[in-house]
Chains A and B, each alone.
Chain A
Amino acid sequence: MPLLHVERMTHDFGGLRAVRDYDLTIERGQIRGLIGPNGAGKTTVFNLITGIYKPTEGRVLFDGKDTVGLKPYEIAAMGLGRTFQNMRLWRHMTVLEHVKLARYSKLSYGLLGAFFSTGKRRREEEEGAQKALSLLEMVGVRHLADQVVTNLPYGAQRRVEIARALAMEPKLLLLDEPTAGMNPEELRQIMLIIRDIHRELGLAIFLIEHRLRVVMELCERIQTLVFGEVIAEGSPEETQNNPKVIDAYLGKEKLF
């Protein structure tokens, strides 16, 4: 059984068909990529899979269960973590609080625990803090744990966001342009981090990328989305040499 199985997913914004008959199958532990020019509908695909939008047609099966119609927090709690293109960090909260909060569905102390600070609550909060710190260590921002996120440099904010998504212990991690706006050094580091978490946590990763170098290096298979339709799917080499991709995505000139 594949981890994520999307079948003929279609989504309309009013009269505009943003995604048409989208199919996708991700196995456990795979790294997959989604590329495409601006406005192709890549982020919409993410929003459909994570339940922020409800598909007009089609099926989405995550871990064998149909997720169409479920709320985003329910889908997320099943083990679907994600990051956002524009990060969406909580501007008044510290780094540690970000990562701890993503473990919300794992907490069982309930309102009474929250009100009266019971032993169970203290235990769970402590455990959450420890897990959060080890994740921050993994992405290399542990020393910033008590900083408010808005004070951090851009690269560190990206790492915090990845740590936050990892805190919900996902089986599949969706990364929406994790290297957007990064300089070459930051880019190299974030790619190392993605490799690390893939190796150490053994989760599947599905990433949207603008920079071809990143997808070509990281991904096993790549889909190319143009105007809401998949025009090509294959290994990095196949994608790179596919005339349709070159035509639609890279422009007429050959880049490599």
Chain B
Amino acid sequence: MEMESKTERSRARILRVFFSSIPLLAWLIGVLVAVLCEKAVGLWVADAVGLPRIPVLFGILFMLKEPSLIPAALLYTTMIYIVPSCITARIVSPLANRAAELLLRVSVSLSVLVHLALLYSALHFWTDISDYRLIMVKLTLIAVIITLSLNVINGYMGEFSCSHPGFLALGAYTATVFNLVFFVNDRFFGPALAPPAWGPFFFPVGLVLGGLVAALGALMVAIPSFRTRGDYLAIISLAFMFIIKSFIENLEVVGGPRGLSRQPDYASLPVVFAWTSLCLWIINNFVRSTLGKALNAVRDDETAANSMTVNTRRTKMTAFLFAAFWAGVAGGLFAHVIRYVNPGMFGIQNLAEVLAMVYFGGLNSVYGSIVGAVGIQLLSEMLRPLEIFKWIIIPLLLILVMIFRPTGLIAFKEFVVEDLVKPKRKEV
């Protein structure tokens, strides 16, 4: 008995030693190799283990649809993803540690760029295999922006805002109309005003415009609701969401309830990836600065913040508009990924999803927002074969998280980029 637990412990130690010295750089290389592996021999392996085709989501969809395929799907995932990525990561880790150290010594930004490039390549090759993966990755990246921006209000500032679908809608419609008017021959808006070839270069303009319109909408919510603290914001922002939705439904210029389609295909993976990275960088910079910490102070004790020279009203307004801006940008990206928008997309269900991502991942935390957005998005895709039961499992999971970790999975944790990209200590 004792012997057994001792071997167990030593085995755990070996595993820890085996993996503890692997830096993020090595993991990313490992994942890249695994993805390339799938590209090279995925079809062949799938055939060999008896799967009808390459599983799009790590075989989970197969497992849920057809329980007899569980061993085959597990085998595939192990052979294609787990084994190659772990082995590669372990092999390259001494080299990667040295590289990470070198990069960090040159500059943090260079190191971050290298990591992002690796992550992007992995995503690029992974999504090459099917369009379904491509659109899912894009939507997940957008979900990260949305979750992060809502976390600024609901987590960092501690107010409860329900207006995010409204901001998304404003951003989505503004960017769509901008592109349709200028770069597309459209039956609504007539011939293109500018050469369509310019379109992709002006795409950021449309997105920023969408963000600004969303921020303007936020100003309308903020002026009456930030006079005092309390439930006002929740109520006013909920009303705002419904007003925007029915406003667009009744606006025939933008297609009313039928919505708008024919968005040009500008939101490619690199574009969405770049915007998500930019958003992450800016929001993280903001919440880690003293100006951003003022939000936490306002949340934890507004009177004290006010007495410590913090202009609380301006702080709240700024953060709210800032969050709305990013929601607007995310809305614009979303419209161009789906290439269709209608007002029905921006209702109470959308709100529920976004709130779930924020509270599942963790309040007041960039890590939490990433985990929440990716987790809920993947989960809701993976559980699709279960149909109606999906809407039992996901809420159940949320309730469990709320019981055992009331502030979310990874709450109140600083996202320190330097710690993320630094080399891991040498093993003893």
Contact = CB atoms under 8 A, between A and B. Distances in A.
A89 B286 CA distance: 22
Given A73-B312, A76-B308, A117-B285, A92 B412 contact: yes
B311 interface: yes
A102 interface: yes
A167 B308 CA distance: 9
B293 A125 contact: no
B308 A114 contact: no
B300 A90 contact: yes
B289 A125 contact: yes
A167 B293 CA distance: 15
B263 interface: no
B162 to A, nearest CB: 23
Residue in A73, A97, A105, A167 with the greatest tally of chain B CB atoms within 10 Å: A73
A17 interface: no
Interface in A151-210: 164-165, 167-168
Contacts of B290: 100-101, 103-104, 107, 125, 128
Contact of B309 (A97, A113, A121, A168): A168
A113 B289 CA distance: 9
Nearest to B286: A114
A114 B309 contact: no
Contacts of A103: 290, 309
B285 A52 contact: no
B289 A101 contact: no
Contact of B291 (A50, A71, A92, A111): A111
A73 B318 contact: no
A22 interface: no
Interface in B189-241: none
A89 B285 contact: no
Q: Report whether over half of chain A's contact residues are helix, strand or loop; otherwise say mixed.
A: helix
B151 to A, nearest CB: 14
Interface residues of B, number: 27
A72 interface: yes
A231 interface: no
Contact of B310 (A50, A73, A91, A121): A73
B297 A90 contact: yes
Contact of A71 (B285, B301, B306, B318): B306
A13 interface: no
B296 A90 contact: yes
A102 B309 contact: yes
B297 A72 contact: no
Contact of B308 (A52, A92, A101, A128): A101
Contacts of B311: 71, 73
Contact of B306 (A73, A90, A92): A73
Number of chain A interface residues as a range: 35 or more
A256 interface: no
A104 B286 contact: no
B407 to A, nearest CB: 9
Interface in B260-319: 282, 285-286, 289-294, 296-297, 299-301, 303-312, 318
Residue in B285, B318, B364 with the greatest tally of chain A CB atoms within 10 Å: B285
Interface in A109-143: 109, 111, 113-117, 121, 125, 128
A109 B312 CA distance: 18
Contacts of B364: 92
B280 to A, nearest CB: 12
A254 interface: no
A92 to B, nearest CB: 6
Contacts of A77: 309
Interface string B366-377: 000000000000
Given A91-B300, A101-B293, A101-B297, A115 B308 contact: no
Contacts of A252: none
Contacts of A114: 285-286, 289, 291-292
Residue in B296, B297, B307 with the greatest tally of chain A CB atoms within 10 Å: B307
Nearest to A110: B291
A121 B296 CA distance: 19
Given A72-B306, A104-B309, A168-B309, A121 B289 contact: yes
A32 B183 CA distance: 72
A103 B286 CA distance: 17
A104 B294 contact: yes
Nearest to A150: B300
Nearest to A80: B307
Contacts of A84: 303-304, 307
A216 B293 CA distance: 39
Contacts of A88: 301, 303-304
A117 B412 CA distance: 21
A101 B305 CA distance: 9
A24 interface: no
B307 A111 contact: no
A219 B305 CA distance: 28
Contacts of B293: 93, 97, 100-101
Contacts of B291: 104, 107, 109, 111, 114
Nearest to A97: B293
A71 B300 CA distance: 19
B308 A164 contact: yes
A101 B412 CA distance: 17
Given A90-B297, A114-B292, A115-B286, 5 more contacts: A71-B306, A73-B309, A101-B294, A114-B291, A121-B289
15 contacts: A50-B307, A82-B307, A89-B304, A90-B297, A90-B300, A93-B296, A100-B290, A101-B305, A102-B308, A107-B290, A109-B291, A114-B291, A114-B292, A164-B308, A167-B308
Closest 7 CB pairs of A and B: A90-B300, A105-B309, A88-B304, A114-B289, A102-B308, A72-B306, A114-B291
